Amino acid sequence: MCPSPIDPDEIRYPDSDGRPLADNDWQFTAILGAVGTLRVHFVARSDVYVFGDMLLYYVEGDPGKSVAPDVCIALGVPKRKRLVYKLWEEGKPPDFVLEVASGRTWQQDRGRKRILYEQLGCTEYWRFDPRGEFFQPALQGLSLERGRYRPIPERLRRGLREIPSAVLGLALRAEDGVVRFHDPVAGWDLETHEEALAGRREVESRVRHLEERLAKLGIEPD
């Protein structure tokens, strides 16, 4: 007797692989920093989806075929909350993938995952080693050319080694265990969460100081 065909609607695609977001503080900080910075940068774009550590399923009907990129960006994909990223439903692979290395993952980042993202057609694949233990240089960018990944040439800007990303329209560099993003059009680095918070606190402090001075002069602020 032939087995009954499986109803596609009954196939489950779990939203967790049971593994932690990161293996250590360096990896955790680098992943959250990159995802947070890029989400703020693309906040006004409804067609840019930024996500991290989410299961990406790439074969319909086979829940065993999945990967969980550390940092991922899909262009031309609606920005909405998802449990998982199903390649056949979204219609395209992510355009930008960044994997942050740890002692457990660095060999996969260099081998199996590179091959997989290449086969899936991800336009750019980046590897970052926050402690500089496994990759030299610590930040490496690869771009898909005729179906194969090729290293993206680095450049120097004011003595800083950086690598341009055609997908993001930004330049990336390794700095103090994190990936920093530079906007060449605006001419400045994208702020990290900590920098944005510090800037807001500085503004609030100046406002309070001004209000105190006006109060001493008997002037009511508008």
> Which residues on neighbouring strands pair with residue 127, listed in sequence order?
99, 140
Domain ranges for the chain, please list them.
8-190
Quote the pLDDT of residue 194.
67
Task: Give the per-residue pLDDT at 159.
Answer: 87
pLDDT of residue 10: 73
- Which residue do the tokens 């900590």 mark? 194
**Residue spans of the chain under pLDDT 70:** 1-9, 193-218, 220-222
Q: How far is CA 204 from the centre of its chain?
A: 30
pLDDT at residue 17, as a whole number:
87
Greatest distance between any 2 Cα atoms in the chain: 94
* Contacts of residue 38, Cβ cutoff 8 Å, sequence gap at least 6: 50, 71, 73, 168, 181, 190
What pLDDT does 158 receive?
86
CA nearest 155: which of 165, 169, 146, 145? 165
Query: What is the pLDDT, as a whole number, of residue 66?
Result: 96
Q: List the CATH code of the domain at 8-190.
A: 3.90.1570.10
What tokens does 27 get? 């990896």
Pick from 122, 131, 141: which is nearest to 22 by CA?
131
